[in-house]
Structure 1
Amino acid sequence: MSELHELSALDQGKAIRNGDLSPVELTRFYLDRIARLDAEIGAYVTVTAERALAQATALERDLPGGPLAGVPVPVKDLNLVKNVPIMFGSAAYQGFVAPMDDSVVERMSAAGTVMLGKTSTPEFGLPCYTETYLSPPARSPWDLTRSAGGSSGGAAAAVAAGLAPVAQGSDGAGSIRIPSSVCGLYGIKPTRGRISFAPIIPDLAGMSTNGPIARNVADAAALLDVMAHNSPGDLYLAPPHEGTFLEYATRQPGKLRIARYATPAVPEAELDPEVLAAYEESAKTLAALGHEVVDIDPPFGPELVPQFVTLWYAFACMHPVADDQIPRLRPLTAWLRERGFATPAPAFLQAQAALQLATRAALQVTDAYDAVLTPTVTLPPRPVGWFEEGDDPELTFERMKRFAAFPPIYNVSGQPAVNLPLYWTEDGLPIGVMLAGRIGGEGVLISLSAQIEAYKGGFWGDRRPDIW
């Protein structure tokens, strides 16, 4: 048998079902790697070793059905796990212990996955990089001087460094796709309403969703099957789909009509030549597979950026912070909250209405295509500390907007979108590209992604980060 972290999550699950590998053995293997390597990576903010081993031991007595039973899957520190500390990336929440599980955590537990711990996330999930007052920065395993992105930076770093086979993440403005791009991974932001946020986290604007991060398409699809569910009181419901998402990973997509554009909506955001090269190479790959690739004008324009920013200011105020804990907030968070609390409710509602109106018009364009190709981010992976150079929150926020100019579009529209790890720079840095689909069209994206993966001989091929 290969080194255990070389196996895919599905192969690990198969080995467990066949009796060739035990959940305890696999859990101990990953806990050992975390203990040896995570100080360099910054993937975990909390490691729950005793809990994980207890879960694994129980699974040796009673293993549920399903392809991921016995497989370790860490949980992002924005999601509640009962009796486990949750800090939301903020020193203001140190010592807080979750009173219950999120429903998606219940789903993963019922499927027999083992929680190794909580992966690091920036404060309240607001930045697109993971640097906090709680733990070391989350770093891309491909270059430890580079950020792992955010807000699912710890989750992506863990998978790319072999500290977890797959991971649960969440995405409110690119928070799965951005770290997947800078860590060389496959990540899925599902359709709005595909995965419930019950019981506590509200889905008022419908921007955020849970989703999987993995090294390959099939692993991500299998975890999406586990995570997908609805709960009473959900404001959004995704259209139903046939069969399982994992089955889509084995289907040929047929000849598709794919739109593409590479003009960012954010004014003054510019594409690095390596990012443009990744985009062009991906379009050639799609054409080589027999798909029709069509250039289109961007469906969202720069006039909508201020409306999105208004929502982001308000989202910074969602987590209550006691008065005596406010000084423990990071400067960017404090700056965003100040603007959020100064935003009148009518302005928030008007911004949301403008974005919905724009979505109705945009979907009339994108629904004519099976998928839409864009860059994921505008620059190669950024150095740790780059976003906060100058100690000016306004400059930090402007850099965030320009770097992550493409992913938030599909949080606004609710469309599913994936990051494809198709390109590496001469320096060995990963640059992803993004495919978005129709509402409810995760299956098509998964089939197309699997076809591209097979054509490329696996996304990673023979590449491995040095720390692997």
Structure 2
Amino acid sequence: MAEIHELSAVALRDALRSGELSARQAAEHFLDRIAGQNPHLGAFITVTADQALADADAADSRFASLSGSGRGRGGPLPPLHGMPVAFKDLTDVAGVITTHGSAAVEHRPATADGPLAATLKAAGVVSLGKTQVPEFGLTAYSENRIAPPSRNPWALSRSSGGSSGGSAAAVAAGLLPFAPGSDGGGSIRIPAAACGLVGLKPGRGLVPAGESAGDQARLVVAGPLARSAADAALMLDALVPPGTAPGPVSGPPAGPATETAAGPAMPRPESYLRLAAQEPPRLRIGISLDSPWQAAFPFTPEPEALDALRAGVGLLEAAGHETGEARIRYDNRYAAAFTTAWTAGVGSARILPHREALLAPLTRTFRQRARQRGPAKLAEALAFLRQFERDTVAQFSAWDLVLTPSLAQTPRPVGWFTGAAHGDGYWPAAERATDADEDYRKQCVFAPWSSPINVCGLPAISIPVHWTGGAPGTGLPMGIQLVGPLGSEALLLQVTAQLGF
């Protein structure tokens, strides 16, 4: 048998359900790897080893209490029985401190599980701890003032992305079999691309767990970070409530995809894991480098991003799909409206006045600006974004899927966004001389194709099709993003699996 961390999530699930491995064996193995690698990787802020082992023992006791006929056949065992995971440190886990990646908030243990943790715990997972995030999940890099930065397992001088950067680093380094992330502007797809993973952002309304009451633009959704389409599908099955349809899977979307909200719940015919193994239909895929950030922050994709795009086009065409140029026209007002909506939550965050100085420079700047705006300004931005959604979804509907690079640049050095990069080292936050607007500009040109998909509420997936060293595992990973119409999560997983991921 392969080392436990070398197993796919699906294979580990099967070994746990058959009794070939115990939940305690799996938890101990991954905890040992975390202990050995996290000091230089920075993927975890908090490791809850004692609680994890107690939960694993409880899972093993439940397994032992079942009759032989119930084991491994989907009977009384929950679907993710004994599977080790970790939650990014924006998610409440009962009894564990939620830091939000910030020195400005009081670090108190959560009194109850948040919806995402509750959903996955009900599915049988064993939580090993909390992973590194940027302050309040605001940035495309996972660095903050309370813990070492999350580093890229393929090059420790590079960032693992954000905001699910710690979770992505942990999965890519074999510290977890897969992990839940959340994505409000690219926070699953950006770290997936940076770390060579499959990262799926489901469409709006499919996964209620992970949504935020303070997210008035409805940008944020929870989804999987995994090493394959099958592993991502396994987690998606646990995240999607029973009775929710997985969307069109037997053919390309019919007619314009202009609906802007999740439709009525329908009986789910089968699981995403089963659907992901099926061959997709032949698709028309539009290729685009257009971005609504281009007007505010002109950029040129790096050669490595274009190499990834060419690699993706080659794989898709070899699989029988038709590709062509998609010309997408974007409204130049997007950057201001998105920024207003994106930063509204930090403006209303409960932070004691004497702790404001502990905020990172970017957070402090955007908090001040958000608090200076009146409700009318936010309402105006939200109205614009809904119109942007309608216009963009209508343009995308000319194609079955839309293809872009995942990132416009290779994974950036740790400290690069804040001006603190210094060789392979890391400057403490107190020593940074940061301009918040330059930091934000760098993020927007690093990942210029991510946030519009959140605004539109569409599903999208990042696929690691290219390595700068020429072979898988060499150099730095680079990915492509495929965007589908509402309800196309299964189709995106099918195409990802068809391409060999």
User: 2:437 matched to which residue of 1?
Assistant: 394
Please say if residues 264 and 270 of structure 1, whose CA atoms lie closer than 8 Å, have aligned partners that are also in contact: no
Matching residue within 344, 354, 357 for 1:314:
344
| 2:455 alignment partner AA | V
Q: Which residue identity lines up with residue 402 of structure 1 in the other structure?
A: V
Q: Percent identity?
A: 40
Q: State the TM-score, normalized to the length of structure 1.
A: 0.93
Change in 2 beyond 3 A, CA 1:193/1:202 = farther
Of 419, 429, 444, which aligns to 2:491?
444
Deviation at 1:150, TM superposition (A): 0.3
Aligned letter for 1:72?
P
Distance in 2 of aligned mates of 1:318 and 1:283: 43
For residue 323 of structure 1, what is the aligned residue in structure 2? 353
Residue 111 (structure 1) aligned with residue 117 (structure 2) = no
**Corresponding position of 2:278:** 251
Structure 1: which amino acid aligns with 2:89?
D
Aligned counterparts of 1:68 and 1:413: Cα–Cα separation in 2: 31
Pick which of 386-395 and 408-417 moved more: 386-395
Matched, 1:87 2:99: yes
SS across alignment from 1:62: helix
- Between stretches 281-290 and 177-186, larger displacement belongs to 281-290
Would the aligned equivalents of 2:23 and 2:83 in 1 still touch at CA under 8 Å? Answer: yes
Corresponding position: 1:432 with 2:479: yes
**1:28 maps to what in 2?**
28
Cα pair 2:46 2:131 within 8 Å, conserved: yes
Q: Of 327, 331, 342, which aligns to 1:297?
A: 327
Structure 2 counterpart SS, 1:79? coil
- 1:265 and 1:230, CA in 2 relative to 1: closer, same or farther beyond 3 A? farther
Q: Deviations over 1:348-397 (max 9, x none)?
A: 11111111112112111212322110011110000000001152111111
For the structure 1 residues 200 and 148, does the alpha-carbon distance in structure 2 shift closer, same or farther, using more than 3 Å as the test?
closer
Q: Equivalent residue for 2:450?
A: 407
Say whether residues 1:355 and 2:382 are aligned partners: no
Cα distance in structure 1, aligned partners of 2:88 and 2:368: 26
Q: Equivalents in 2 of 1:245, 1:340: separation in Å?
A: 40
Partner of 1:193: 205
Partner of 1:205: 217
Query: SS in structure 1 opposite 2:408?
Result: coil
Give the drift of 1:242: 3.8
The Cα offsets for residues 113-160 of structure 1, whole Å up to 9 and x where unpaired, read as 110001111000001101111111001100000000000000000000
Match of 2:312 among 272, 282, 291: 282
Contact 2:196 2:479 in 1 (8 A): yes
**How far apart in 1 are the matches of 2:34 and 2:438?**
34
Residue 86 (structure 2) pairs with residue 74 (structure 1):
yes
- SS of aligned partner of 2:343: helix
SS of the equivalent of 1:192 reads coil
Retained in 2: the 8 A contact 1:70–1:114?
A: yes
Alpha-carbon offset, residue 316 of structure 1? 2.3
CA contact (8 A) 1:77 1:118 kept: yes
Residue 168 of structure 2 is aligned to residue 138 of structure 1? no
Deviation at 1:67, TM superposition (A): 4.5
Q: For the structure 1 residues 122 and 242, does the alpha-carbon distance in structure 2 shift closer, same or farther, using more than 3 Å as the test?
A: same
**AA aligned opposite 2:283:** L
- 5+ residue gaps, structure 1, are 454-458, 460-468
Preserved CA contact (<8 Å) 1:260 1:296: yes
Taking a change above 3 Å as real, the CA distance of residues 201 and 98 of structure 1, as seen in their structure-2 partners, is: farther
Paired residues, what number?
451
Cα distance in structure 1, aligned partners of 2:278 and 2:452:
28
Query: Once structures 1 and 2 are overlaid, which stretch shifts more, 4-13 or 103-112?
Result: 103-112
User: What SS does the aligned partner of 2:463 have?
Assistant: strand
Residue 60 (1) aligns with residue 60 (2): yes
Mean CA deviation greater in 356-365 or 295-304: 295-304
Whether the 8 Å contact between 1:124 and 1:319 is mirrored in structure 2 is no
Counterpart residue identity of residue 53, structure 1: L
Q: For 1:49-70, what per-residue CA distance to the aligned partner results, in whole angstroms no more than 9, with x for missing partners?
A: 1111111000001145354211
**Partner of residue 293, structure 2:** 266
> Is the contact made by 2:79 and 2:124 (CA closer than 8 Å) also made in structure 1?
no
For the 8 Å contact 2:140–2:161, the answer to whether it is kept is yes
Q: Which amino acid aligns with 2:196?
A: G
Shift of 1:216: 0.7
Cα separation, 2, equivalents of 1:301 and 1:370? 23
- Deviation track 1:302-346 (CA, whole Å, cap 9, x = no partner) reads 431211112123132242111121111111100110111112211
Q: What are the residue-to-residue correspondences of 1:173-252 with 2, within 5 Å?
A: 173-197=185-209, 201-229=213-241, 237=262, 240=265, 242-252=269-279
How much does 1:229 deviate? 3.0
Deviation at residue 102 of structure 1 after TM alignment: 1.5
Which sits farther off after the overlay, 440-449 or 361-370? Answer: 361-370
Equivalent AA in structure 1 for residue 319 of structure 2: L
Taking structure 1 as reference, are residues 202 and 337 closer, same or farther at Cα in structure 2, changes over 3 Å only?
A: closer
The answer to whether the 8 Å contact 1:230/1:237 transfers is: no
Query: d(CA) in 1 for partners of 2:209 and 2:232?
Result: 19
Unpaired segments ≥5 residues, structure 2: 64-75, 244-259, 420-432
Residues 45 and 119 in structure 1, CA contact (< 8 A), matched pair in contact too = yes
Q: Aligned residue for 1:464?
A: none
Alpha carbons 1:102, 1:199 under 8 Å: kept: no
2:37 is equivalent to residue 37 of structure 1: yes
Contact 1:45 1:118 in 2 (8 A): yes
Q: 2:371 maps to what in 1?
A: 341
Which residue in the other structure is 2:246 paired with?
A: none
Aligned-partner SS, 2:316: helix
Is the 1:16–1:70 Cα contact (8 Å) retained in structure 2? yes
Larger Rg: 2
CA contact (8 A) 2:211 2:220 kept: no
Give the CA deviation at 1:83. 1.5
CA distance in 1, matches of 2:271, 2:331: 35
Cα deviation, residue 440, structure 1 = 1.4
Q: 2:91·2:98 contact (CA, 8 Å) conserved in 1?
A: yes
Q: Distance in 1 between matches of 2:208 and 2:23?
A: 28
The answer to which of 362-371 and 285-294 deviates more is 362-371
1:172 shift after superposition: 0.5
Q: Which amino acid aligns with 1:410?
A: I
| Contact kept? 2:171, 2:226, Cα under 8 Å | yes
SS at match of 2:180: strand
For the Cα contact (< 8 Å) 1:192–1:238, is it kept in 2? no
The letter for the 2-side match of 1:403 is F
Matches of 1:81 and 1:230, distance apart in 2: 23
Structure 2: distance between partners of 1:67 and 1:269: 45
Q: TM-score, normalised by structure 2?
A: 0.87
